[in-house]
Chain A
Amino acid sequence: MLSKRLVICLDVRGGKLAKSIRFVDTKDIGDPVAKARQYYEEGVDELVFYDITASRENRDIMIDFVEKAASQIFIPFSVGGGIRSVEDATKLRNAGAEKVNVNTAAVLRKELISEIADAIGSQSTILSMDIRRVPPTEKIPSGYEIVVNGGITPMGIDALWWAKEGERLGAGELVVNSIDADGTNNGYELKLTRMLAEAVGIPVIASGGAGKPEHLYDVLTEGRADAALVASIVHYGEYTCRQLKEYLHGRGIKMRMSY
């Protein structure tokens, strides 16, 4: 049986760690590759590098960054942020990213998902979804709406429909990011995660809201997620990868414990 995965997300700006992240180990500020290497050695199962500038000018810097990361990290990692074309995806994949995350550009033009899946394979094509809770309407029957621009712009698209559509178009995995839970440290949006995980046949990575190890346990059991994504709780030094994995393993979740 496959193990559940602990995934860590690092925000990258111009090849540097984003300033908004306050690391305890100040020596590592500014070098996401060194931080990623540390997490790799501590047993993280997968990493996500998120390019928060996502500008076209920044593309080459990001490719260069991915090359560096790939020479230091020998587990799968994905790259997201500003991927607008098959060319972007292919370049990142060739530079060493195992998978790429598409988000806004796919919402604006959904064929992008199938184009990328055809070029680099479904298993390497992740659809990231930013989702917020809304009162159910005829247009948004599930009560969960797709938003873009960091959660600012509502798109009038039902998240449940979009998850299934993404799978149909060839996405091999979903990142379910709850804008409501994000940054609260109060736990993942279990209802949303479970609803989407039960609706699709592809793995779901839950994102947004992790504050305690129990939250990861909850989303991997009750939330039916295949992987739990964390950021601040490890970046701020509250928990190490090992602590999180040992906690989950101790509660009977199958995790990769030898690394």
Chain B
Amino acid sequence: MITIIDYNAGNIRSVLRACAEAGSEAMTTNDPKVVVKAEKIIFPGVGAAPSAMEYLKKTGLDTAIKNAFMSSVPILGICLGAQIILEGSEEGPQECLGLVPGKTVRFKIDDKTLKIPHMGWNEVRVVKSHPLLDGVKKGDEFYFVHSYYPSPTDKQNIYATADYGGDFCCALGYKNLFAVQFHPEKSGRLGLQMLEKFTRWNP
């Protein structure tokens, strides 16, 4: 059973539906007591880091997620959920969860023809193999909508990059955590394949 964290950050039902399509049993919760006992966690989210962190702290979900991570529960972060797992974000002065050393940064693009947010289908280039990226081939594209991206301190933690006015990290892995900046739940067959692999991932 996958536990999807509902923390008032965008529509998480699309993730729930995609899990169902991928054949994975899933539920949503905003209860920290449920989160600490989860077998597997998807940490999704769309929106701004400051308000998301505020909500997580207020509800105690921040501690629950940290504890689940420490006790080796497999976690998949998506979009905002791939950003606030780092220590901080350029989006605001707040402290983030700090599961992985690093910071979330904003696109700094000189090319005025490249619009922010980076929105649409873009190629995900695997730079280091990972069970969740199995089957992702050269030229495979995923759906992105974002203005910030995760930048882990240790570049060894970067598993895939995409190019938008330069390469940026779009998939990072650290211990029992894997996180993607794109939206597997909106990326068609390839995204569903990744969710399916997550259900079978036992780090």
B-contacting residues of A (Cβ < 8 Å)? 1-3, 5, 40, 43, 45, 70-71, 74-76, 93-94, 96, 98, 121-123, 172, 201-203, 226, 256-259
Chain A CB within 8 A of B51 CB: no
The complex places the Cα of A81 from the Cα of B122 at a distance, in Å, of 29
A-contacting residues of B (Cβ < 8 Å)? 11, 13-14, 17-18, 20-21, 46-47, 112, 115, 117-123, 137, 139-141, 143, 145, 163-164, 185-192
Quick one: which of A45, A70, A226, A256 contacts B14, CB cutoff 8 A?
A: A70
**Which residues from chain B contact A75 at a C-beta distance below 8 Å?**
143, 186-188
Contact A74 to B122, CB < 8 A, known contacts A96-B11, A123-B117, A258-B141: no
Contact A74 to B120, CB < 8 A, known contacts A3-B141, A93-B11, A258-B140: no
**Which residues from chain A contact B141 at a C-beta distance below 8 Å?**
3, 256, 258
Q: Verify B139–A257 contact, CB threshold 8 A.
A: yes
Q: Verify A70–B120 contact, CB threshold 8 A.
A: no
**Which residues from chain A contact B164 at a C-beta distance below 8 Å?**
1-2
Which A residue sits closest to B138, measured CB to CB? A258
How distant is B80 from chain A, measured CB to nearest CB, in Å? 12
Contact A74 to B118, CB < 8 A, known contacts A1-B163, A258-B137, A258-B139: no
Which B residue sits closest to A43, measured CB to CB? B188
Q: Verify A2–B120 contact, CB threshold 8 A.
A: yes
- 3 nearest interchain CB pairs? A2-B120, A256-B141, A3-B121
The complex places the Cα of A154 from the Cα of B184 at a distance, in Å, of 43
Quick one: which of B17, B112, B140, B163 contacts A96, CB cutoff 8 A?
A: B17
The complex places the Cα of A259 from the Cα of B188 at a distance, in Å, of 7
Which A residue sits closest to B115, measured CB to CB? A201
Where chain B touches its partner, the secondary structure class is mixed
The complex places the Cα of A259 from the Cα of B190 at a distance, in Å, of 7
Contact A1 to B189, CB < 8 A, known contacts A123-B117, A203-B115: no
Q: Verify B20–A71 contact, CB threshold 8 A.
A: yes
**Which residues from chain B contact A76 at a C-beta distance below 8 Å?**
143, 186
**Which residues from chain A contact B140 at a C-beta distance below 8 Å?**
258
The complex places the Cα of A75 from the Cα of B191 at a distance, in Å, of 9
Q: Verify B121–A74 contact, CB threshold 8 A.
A: no
**Which residues from chain A contact B115 at a C-beta distance below 8 Å?**
201-203
**Which residues from chain B contact A5 at a C-beta distance below 8 Å?**
120-121
Q: Verify A3–B120 contact, CB threshold 8 A.
A: yes
The complex places the Cα of A257 from the Cα of B44 at a distance, in Å, of 27
How distant is B66 from chain A, measured CB to nearest CB, in Å? 28
The complex places the Cα of A54 from the Cα of B35 at a distance, in Å, of 42
**Which residues from chain B contact A258 at a C-beta distance below 8 Å?**
137, 139-141, 190
Which B residue sits closest to A227, measured CB to CB? B120
Which A residue sits closest to B117, measured CB to CB? A123
Contact A94 to B119, CB < 8 A, known contacts A74-B18, A259-B189: no
Contact A74 to B13, CB < 8 A, known contacts A3-B121, A256-B141: no
How distant is B189 from chain A, measured CB to nearest CB, in Å? 6
The complex places the Cα of A203 from the Cα of B141 at a distance, in Å, of 19
**Which residues from chain A contact B18 at a C-beta distance below 8 Å?**
74
Which A residue sits closest to B10, measured CB to CB? A121
**Which residues from chain A contact B14 at a C-beta distance below 8 Å?**
70, 96
How distant is A45 from chain B, measured CB to nearest CB, in Å? 6
Which B residue sits closest to A226, measured CB to CB? B120
Which B residue sits closest to A97, measured CB to CB? B11
The complex places the Cα of A134 from the Cα of B156 at a distance, in Å, of 59
Q: Verify A203–B137 contact, CB threshold 8 A.
A: no
Q: Verify A71–B17 contact, CB threshold 8 A.
A: yes
Q: Verify A1–B122 contact, CB threshold 8 A.
A: yes
The complex places the Cα of A53 from the Cα of B21 at a distance, in Å, of 31
The complex places the Cα of A1 from the Cα of B119 at a distance, in Å, of 11
Q: Verify A74–B188 contact, CB threshold 8 A.
A: yes
Given A121-B47, A258-B137, 19 more pairs with CB closer than 8 A? A1-B163, A2-B118, A3-B121, A5-B120, A5-B121, A74-B191, A75-B186, A96-B14, A96-B17, A123-B117, A172-B119, A201-B112, A201-B115, A226-B120, A256-B141, A257-B139, A258-B190, A259-B188, A259-B189
